[in-house]
Structure 1
Amino acid sequence: MRAIWKGAVAFGLVNVPVRLYSATGEHEVRLHQVHEEDGGRIRYKKVCSLDGEPVEMSEIAKGYETADGELVVLTDADFGNLPLATEREIEVMEFVPADQVDPIMLGKTYYLEPDKTAAKPYALLRGALEAADRVAVVKVALRQRESMAVLRVRDKVICLQTLMWPDEVREADFPILDGDVSVKPAELAMASSLIESLAADFDPSQYEDRYAAALEELIEQKVSSGKTQALPVPAGEKDEGAGEVVDLLAALQRSVEKARTARGEDAPAEPAKKAKKPKKSGDDDDTPARRTRRKAS
């Protein structure tokens, strides 16, 4: 794994230098959008909606549209002036019972690895969390955004798990649930019995992503049966010299044909008839005098 962030955990007067690693990764089979007819990749270009011209990344800013329909443009310099007090620090705010953190607020999980010189304070924080049976509520800046998170222990590793901000969790508003729905005791008992019959300890290793496995098998079958095609090269990415080679070959071919024709080695498929010269008066006379003139010439 490669560290994606480096900073320190600060609680009280204790400072623990750590590195942050992503603890999860999706095993999704990566597919591209292609043209079914020729296999060409479908690209998405960044273009301006006003003039239709392509825009370079260096020319792109972020904009906020107000309720009045006005546009506020924000540049990288504007974002650079925003305060991020916890940019390289994981600041512990408080320690709370783990069951008070609603699972709907939990986000992405990261592993915290201590520096070689910080193994002892790291173990101290880990032991304190385990002994108190609590999680640490922290604030941290990741990818230029300040996030709320919790620190908890998994095996021997301290994990940082980001949280949604309170105003990011939507309230469920379903009027149908406000009505009085009567459930018979027998129905409730049957449902409880069903739950008991399916009760077990959670073991995620017994489950698998059958769709991803079937998709990989399908791809392997197509590869094994030869149902593949060469990756097409877009016109703009072809070797610049390719066109010159084709032109050179054509020119050489034409030169060879011209030379053979000049030597009479390669007669045309349909030879053209030579045009007859108009006869002059007396051409048909084959007199001795005319023969004598031709011999002399």
Structure 2
Amino acid sequence: MSRIIWKGAIAFGLVNIPVVLRPASRNQTLDLDLLDVRDMAPVGYQRINKSTGKPVDKEHIVKGYQYAKDEYVLLNEEDFRQANVEATQTVDIVSFVDAESIPPYYFDTPYYLEPDKRGERGYALLHETMRRTGKAALALVVLRARQHLAAMLVHDDALVLNTMRFADEVLPISELHLPKAAPGKPAGAHAREVEMATKLVEDMSEDWQPEQYRDTYRDDLMARIDERIESGKTHQLTQPADVEEAPRQGAKVIDMVALLRQSLGKRGKQAKDEEETEPARRKAPARHAAARKQPAAKRASTTAAKRTNSTTRTGTATVKRAPAKRESHAPAARKSPSTTGRKRAA
């Protein structure tokens, strides 16, 4: 379980709900250090004066805000302390909005809200009310000496607090060059293309299963690191491979319908192969067992057929030999000449 990083309460009107805040995400970025390849010593970051090119001692460094070219306002720790908002230890709900009305690019970092001592009843009340109304709570909270706008959302049995970006931190969509839609028509898309694209989306739709997606780049890099550790080649660098750059190709006219049709065909073939493979995989042991028994059975049937169809001729009469019993594995005894002669005389 993740550690508690904050304790406080949810201010819901006149109701206070004691809660604790736990991280709902983790940073999986590899922590790499800079090293001097000659002696494996760590390399630190050095503060350099950009005018003289010489190092600057820490006591000579101050922070400044550039309000005009080469003109700064100097700030020190006292300025930051006086500007900090008071940490009230409260998730102060200011309003409720439809959860689906919040654009996804406003969300920043998720946290889990867990009821603290004597907070279970109020927590359950707020959770159930928000679940029934489909609302998200917009709140203000101070975390790590900084005030955040946050959205409180319902997920399963938990309340999730997701810090948000303020409006002036989000660039306006109006600055983008987007295709314009004609009245009553989708932007830049033909009806046939939309129909086939919709079919492809339906074929590719599945239940949300986030555990099936992984950072394969990080996994591959960790596999290379583990291989180096096991082989003892921890200080050996990988030599660059000879990779030829592919020639740049000019712009091509895209036949969207052909690409969609090809994608649908590929999805259909893949589904058919999976359907055919699954029953075959279940019947595989029985089929292999039958294949092993087939040569013996075939030899037995062939031997029986030969014994049944083999004949001895005496004049115009044909006498069929009786097939030998399958239970007996001993060779048949030879008949004596005298016995055979008596039968012929008879």
Provide the rounded CA distance (Å) in 2 between the counterparts of 1:133 and 1:163: 19
Distance 1:87 1:40 in 2: 45
In the alignment, the residues of structure 2 paired with residue 2 and residue 60 of structure 1 have an alpha-carbon distance, to the nearest angstrom, of 35
Question: 2:27, 2:4 → 1: CA distance?
Answer: 18
- Contact 1:87–1:142 (CA<8 Å) still a contact in 2? no
> What's the CA shift string for 1:145-202, capped at 9, x where partnerless?
2111111122222111011111111123233634876433222222122112111121
**Cα pair distance change 1:25/1:182, threshold 3 Å:** closer
Distance in 2 between residues matched to 1:85 and 1:33, nearest whole Å? 38
**Residue correspondence of structure 1 range 150-189 to structure 2 within 5 A:** 150-172=151-173, 173-175=175-177, 177-178=179-180, 182-189=188-195
> Compared with structure 1, are the counterparts of its residues 48 and 14 closer, same or farther at alpha carbon in structure 2 (3 Å cutoff)?
farther
Distance change >3 Å, CA 175–CA 142, structure 1 → 2: same
Q: Cα 1:82–1:138, aligned 2, differ >3 Å: closer, same or farther?
A: same
Residue 64 in 1 paired to residue 55 in 2?
no
Question: Does residue 1:227 correspond to 2:256, yes or no?
Answer: no
Change (3 A) 1:44 1:17: same
Q: Contact between 1:34 and 1:41, CA under 8 Å: does it hold in 2? A: yes
Higher relative contact order (CA 8 A, sep 6+): 1
Q: Structure 1: which amino acid aligns with 2:189?
A: V
Q: Distance in 2 between matches of 1:77 and 1:165?
A: 25
Distance of aligned partners of 1:10 and 1:176 in 2 relative to their CA distance in 1, 3 Å threshold: closer
**In structure 1, what is the Cα distance between the partners aligned to 2:32 and 2:101?**
40
**Secondary structure of the corresponding residue to residue 222 of structure 2:** helix
In the alignment, which residue of structure 1 is the partner of 2:214? 208
Is the aligned partner of 1:122 residue 2:128? no
With normalisation by structure 2, the TM-score equals 0.60
Q: How far apart, in 1, do the equivalents of 2:179 and 2:123 lie?
A: 47
What secondary structure does 1:109 align onto?
strand
Aligned equivalent of 1:111: 112
In structure 2, the CA distance between the partners of 1:179 and 1:33, relative to structure 1 (3 Å rule), is farther
Residues 132, 60 of structure 1: alpha-carbon distance in 2 compared, 3 angstrom cutoff? farther
Give how far 1:101 is off: 0.7
Deviation by residue 1:62-112 (Cα, 9 ceiling, x = unmatched) = 321103542112222122222625642211001111011111101100112
Structure 1 residues 130 and 183: alpha-carbon distance in aligned structure 2, compared to 1, 3 A threshold: closer
One-letter code aligned to 2:220: A
Q: CA RMSD in A?
A: 2.5
SS of residue paired to 1:218? helix
When residues 176 and 15 of structure 1 are mapped into structure 2, their CA distance, relative to the original with a 3 A threshold, is closer
The question of whether the paired residues in 1 share the 8 Å contact of 2:181 and 2:188 is answered with: no
In structure 1, the partner of 2:82 is: 81
Correspondence for 2:204: 198
Change beyond 3 A, Cα 1:182–1:95: closer
SS in 2 for 1:18: strand
Contact in 2 for aligned 1:93/1:139 (Cα 8 Å): yes
Corresponding residue pairs, total: 229
The answer to whether structure 1 residue 136 and structure 2 residue 137 are counterparts is: yes
Contact 1:98 1:133 in 2 (8 A): yes
Partner-residue secondary structure (3-state), 2:35: coil
Deviations along 1:121-143, one digit per CA (max 9) or x if unpaired, are 22222222112211100011122
Q: Measured at CA, do residues 76 and 182 of structure 1 come closer, stay the same or move farther in structure 2, by a change above 3 Å?
A: closer
After superposing on structure 2, the runs of 4+ consecutive aligned residues of structure 1 that deviate more than 6 Å are none
Q: Rate the CA distance shift 1:206–1:182 in 2: closer, same or farther, 3 A.
A: closer
Q: Paired residue for 2:100?
A: 99
- Structure 2's unaligned 5+ residue stretches are 237-346
Cα distance change of structure 1 residues 176 and 13 upon mapping to structure 2, 3 Å threshold: closer
Alpha-carbon shift at residue 227 of structure 1 (Å): 0.4
Identity of aligned residues (%): 32
Q: What SS does the corresponding residue of 1:31 show, helix, strand or coil?
A: coil
Change (3 A) 1:222 1:191: same
Counterparts in 2 of 1:16 and 1:55: CA distance versus 1, 3 Å = farther
- 1:30: which partner in 2? 31
Name the CA shift for 1:61/1:10 in 2 (closer, same or farther; >3 Å): farther
Secondary structure of 1:17's aligned partner: strand
Cα distance in 1, alignment partners of residues 116 and 40 from structure 2: 48
Question: 1:31-75: per-residue Cα shift (whole Å, max 9, x none)?
Answer: 22223343232210345556744433x765432110354211222
